[in-house]
Amino acid sequence: MNLNAYISIIFFGYVSVIVAAVAWEAGKPLVIEEVEVAPPQTNEVRVKILFTSLCHTDVYFWEAKGQNPLFPRIYGHEAGGIVESVGEGVTDLKPGDHVLPVFTGECKECAHCKSEESNMCDLLRINTDRGVMLNDGKSRFSINGRPIYHFVGTSTFSEYTVIHVGCLAKINPLAPLDKVCVLSCGISTGLGATLNVAKPAKGSTVAVFGLGAVGLAAAEGARIAGASRIIGVDLNSNRFKEAKKFGATEFVNPKDYNKPVQEVIAEMTNGGVDRSVECTGNIDAMISAFECVHDGWGVAVLVGVPHKDAVFKTHPMNLLNERTLKGTFFGNYKPRSDLPSVVEKYMSKELEVEKFITHTVPFSEINKAFEYMLRGEGLRCIIRMEE
């Protein structure tokens, strides 16, 4: 489809016609449509998206196999853009600012935002079922008056989107948005899960379950922390070659063994790993990731988004034996306070993001990004909004 066939009109502060990729039905290709996007209301910001990428979380909710279906909907949450206009009460951002949207927000006022330990903002924490804006309980997107739902407050598969100011991190305008957009979800999530939550000591042993972009960022975090052994676990052996570039030192494909992978790992490590980070979304992998940590001190961190009916089952003795189970959204980073400094890590070359970007497609070919992810090919696919 030729996007030039569509005319995008955006007038500061008015309802405007833009193009967005609309998911009409579960699992069916997205359709590029002309969509009206309303101006931002109180505490909202309208953002011109320049680059967005696909994370597995978008795919789960689009497939709606293990998640509540909500259609028609505009997906997308990993992105970079520029502020077009701001609603009443927005003082932190102005038109022209460079921003990264985040699926979980930071109001800066609630007990969580004030706590040093939590990023689970009372007002703006991830809500995958909502589909409307908080201010008036309505969507800012419509086609001929029919509302199109939002996704996790970001809906970045759109030329323009409306986002709560608390879900936008203002970043260094010199940072290239086509690269740092991947920091707005997957890479920061994996990195933070290791550095902020698992916190492996120098010389320790870390297992990472799932070697997609999130898991490889977790492996990168283990390397930065000085782990001496980083064991990558994945059902797709094609992942292993790439994973070496991210610090993984050993690999286990659970399919190669006729016993549970936690037993395989315990044998490899004299009783278990010091830390494990699960980035698959698969409930069995979550249980294995917990049961493969060493008793006495092992810590497991869950990152994958589970099936809505999943139940975590383990014998309580595994906990009594002094293992710790944790979980995290967005690697415990507070989006507005912490994400700008993750971008600075990239700017100062402490953190490489290019190696996570394996594909790029124009917006008109957004469905290809879904195909790559479903086939387990590559890591992140950047979707360019401008042809």
How far apart are alpha carbons 31 and 28 in whole angstroms? 9
**Is 55 a residue of the active site?**
yes
Catalytic residue among 44, 46, 52, 55: 55
Q: Are 315 and 287 in contact (CB under 8 A)?
A: no
Active site (annotated) includes residue 360: no
**Per rule CB under 6 A, is residue 236 in the interface with ligand NAD?**
yes
Residues 180-219 that bind ligand NAD (CB under 6 A): 185-186, 189, 209-215
Part in contact with Zn ion (CB under 5 A); list of ranges 151-159, 182-190, 202-210, 262-270: 182-190
The least distance separating ligand NAD from the CB of residue 25, rounded to whole angstroms, comes to: 21
3-state helix, strand, coil in the chain (%, to 5): 30, 25, 45
Query: Closest CB to Zn ion among 21 and 55?
Result: 55
Q: How far apart are the first and last CA of the chain?
A: 11
Q: Minimum distance between the CB of residue 94 and ligand NAD, rounded to whole angstroms?
A: 29
> Taking CB under 6 A as the criterion, which residues in 256-315 touch ligand NAD?
279-282, 284-285, 303-305
Give dist(CA 360, CA 351) in Å, integer. Answer: 20
135 binds, among ligand NAD, Zn ion, none (CB under 5 to 8 A by kind): none
Catalytic, out of 44, 46, 57, 220: 57
Q: What is the DSSP letter of 293?
A: B
Annotated catalytic residue, options 44, 106, 107, 269: 107
Cβ count within 10 A of residue 64: 17
Binding range to Zn ion, per CB under 5 A, among 26-34, 56-64, 91-99, 377-385: 56-64
Largest CA distance in the chain: 64
Question: Least separation, in Å, of the C-beta of 203 and Zn ion?
Answer: 31
Report whether 197 contacts 216 (CB < 8 A): no
CB of 247 to ligand NAD, least distance (A): 16
- Written as six digits, the tokens of 162 are 């409306």
Residue with tokens 């190696």: 355
33, 46, 52, 78: which one is catalytic?
Answer: 78
Select 80 or 281, whichever has its Cβ closest to ligand NAD: 281
Residue 140 annotated among the catalytic residues of the structure: no
For ligand NAD, give the closer residue by CB, 16 or 156: 156
Strands (E), the chain: 16-22, 31-37, 44-53, 78-86, 98-101, 141-143, 146-148, 160-164, 168-170, 205-209, 229-233, 250-252, 275-278, 299-302, 324-327, 357-362, 380-384
> Residue 102, interface with ligand NAD (CB under 6 A)?
no
Which phi-psi region, left, alpha or beta, contains residue 177 (left: φ > 0; alpha: ψ -120 to 50)? alpha
Contact partner, 304, from Zn ion, ligand NAD, none, Cβ < 5-8 Å per class: ligand NAD
The tokens for 273 are: 């790993």
| Radius of gyration, alpha carbons of the chain | 21
Is residue 153 part of the contact set for ligand NAD (CB under 6 A)? Answer: no
Contact letters (x/-) for ligand NAD, 345-374, by CB under 6 A?
----------------------------x-
Binding residues (CB under 5 A) for Zn ion: these are 55, 57, 185
Interface with ligand NAD (CB under 6 A)? 55-57, 60, 185-186, 189, 209-215, 233-236, 239, 254, 279-282, 284-285, 303-305, 328-330, 373, 376
Catalytic residues: 55-57, 77-78, 107, 110, 113, 121, 125, 185, 380
